[in-house]
Amino acid sequence: MGELTAEQLETRRKIRQGSIIGGTIIGLIVGGIAYWLLGSQTGTTRTLGAIAAGVVVAVVMYWKNYNAAAKDARCAKCNMAFAVSRTDRTETPTASENREERKEQDDGSIEITTWTEEEFDVVETYTCSACGDETTKEFTTTRRKDEKTEIKRPEGKKGAKSAAGKTGPAKK
């Protein structure tokens, strides 16, 4: 394969780092579930079983994530490893819609969440650092903006008219 450039080494480092983090998180979750499932076993068996399950899953997920990301970073034209990276991303707004969600609470109040849902056409450009080949990906994405949550109490009940939402401050 030959020597990798500084840019390729940095791409490989980022892929490896992301794969380690992802594999570790999933391994810890599986280890915790295994520990819980092995609750009827002795302490040593339970602990070793949870560690073994977590480590096996972490290693498998590391390699799965690493290989998938490394494949995406390989140039389809010149076959150079770790040479493809995103060089541009353009988002164009295409639509905006006010949305509302209502949830009845146990106490008879209603939780009202409002937001503006924005739709964007996205174009991402990927460039090979070895041969200069460019490819693009086009897709549509949405995101919430100005999300607010308010609690409406039923008429005749004492209490606050609104409460803080997940992303907004409490109304007074």
Residue 35 lies in a domain: yes
Please say if the pLDDT value at position 120 is more than 80: yes
pTM of the model: 0.59
Please say if the pLDDT value at position 160 is more than 90: no
* CB neighbour list of residue 165: distance below 8 Å, 6 or more residues apart: 113, 147, 148, 149, 150
Last residue of a domain, one of 49, 72, 95: 72
Residue 18 lies in a domain: yes
Q: Per-residue pLDDT tens for 103-119?
A: 998 888 999 999 999 99
How is the chain split among helix, strand and coil, in percent rounded to 5?
Answer: 35, 35, 30
Counted domains in the chain: 2
Say what the pLDDT of residue 172 is.
Answer: 41
Q: Per-residue pLDDT tens for 134-143?
A: 999 999 999 9
Full domain range(s) for residue 11:
6-72
